[in-house]
A and B are shown apart, each in its own frame.
Chain A
Amino acid sequence: MSNAAVATMDRKPMPGMKVYNKKLGMWVFLLSEVMFFTSLIGSYIILRFAHPDHWTDPGVVLNVPLTALNTFFLICSSVTMVKAFAAIQEGDQKGLKNWLLATILIGATFVGIQGIEYAALSAEGFVPALDAYHAVGRGNPHEGPSLGGPLYGATFYAMTGFHGAHVSIGVLCLIFVYIQALRGVYTVADFEGVEIIGLYWHFVDLVWILLFTIVYLI
């Protein structure tokens, strides 16, 4: 079968679904991701209910202002991503490239800030699988309130780490889409690649919105 025939089949909607196959495939993948992150959140809930003494009040160990800023960046990247999509829908090649580049830079900034956060927390002794009672830097571990137990660090790094990996993969995919955009692959009649990476990127943003609340604020 020729490449043109395959491409035509890809754009043909799945019978009864009214959306093209690649988009349907991305949605099905994202639905599996819903269950993946739900399993992490479910594990977190059962551990937190079982061992409430391992957790602290918000802001005692984790840096809420820095992460709120990072959340702001990720929400901004969702806007730039959707603006890239809107640009190519209108045939605006320059807008597509600029908004995609902005999304890549903001996404990379998110990952960078998460790395800085991890480094700072590790330096304070807040590391996975070890006793976070020894965390220092915010409060007195000997006289002040408890700074949490090992489950706090383990669940924190598991949940934010898997999300960070998703953002990192998203940035790499966005770089690929950006290169394709530079080559002029996307047009007003064919912007599937931009829409599909956009769906993934917004999903990653959506997950972070929930994780930020559950891990940092509750």
Chain B
Amino acid sequence: MEEQEHAHPRYILIWVILLVLTLAEVGYAFLDLPKIVLASGLIFMALWKALLVAMYYMHLRYEPRRMWVLAASPLPFAIILVLAVITEF
């Protein structure tokens, strides 16, 4: 398990960032802004949080580069799927 030989990430710091972002999301969701601005900001914050979990809690940052490729492999399909349904309208 040589791939585990790295210093532990700052788990508690990541946790604090996730909580702050969650609070920011809840506060932001109730602002009186256009729907598209609200949705874009919320999705940005959610993707940022998801990225933090994947990179530090799932340790993707410390995996070999080819694992990154593997982990990212469904993303083009996911994006195509979502964009395909959006363009229906």
Contacts and interface: CB of A to CB of B under 8 A. Distances in A.
Please classify the interface of chain A as helix (H, G, I), strand (E, B), loop, or mixed, using the class held by over half of its residues.
helix
Contacts of B67: 17-19, 27
A42 B50 contact: no
Interface string A24-41: 100110011011001101
Please classify the interface of chain B as helix (H, G, I), strand (E, B), loop, or mixed, using the class held by over half of its residues.
helix
A202 interface: yes
Interface residues of A, number: 53
Contact of B70 (A11, A31, A191): A31
Interface string B72-89: 011101100110111011
B49 A209 contact: yes
Contact of B46 (A20, A203, A209): A209
A49 B85 CA distance: 9
Contact of B26 (A42, A192, A203, A217): A217
Contacts of A18: 3, 64, 66-67
Interface string A198-212: 110011011001101
Interface of A: 11, 16-20, 24, 27-28, 31-32, 34-35, 38-39, 41-43, 45-46, 49-50, 58-59, 64-65, 68, 71-72, 75-76, 78-79, 81-83, 86, 89, 191-192, 198-199, 202-203, 205-206, 209-210, 212-214, 217-218
The 5 closest A-B pairs by CB, nearest first: A213-B46, A217-B29, A38-B78, A46-B85, A18-B64
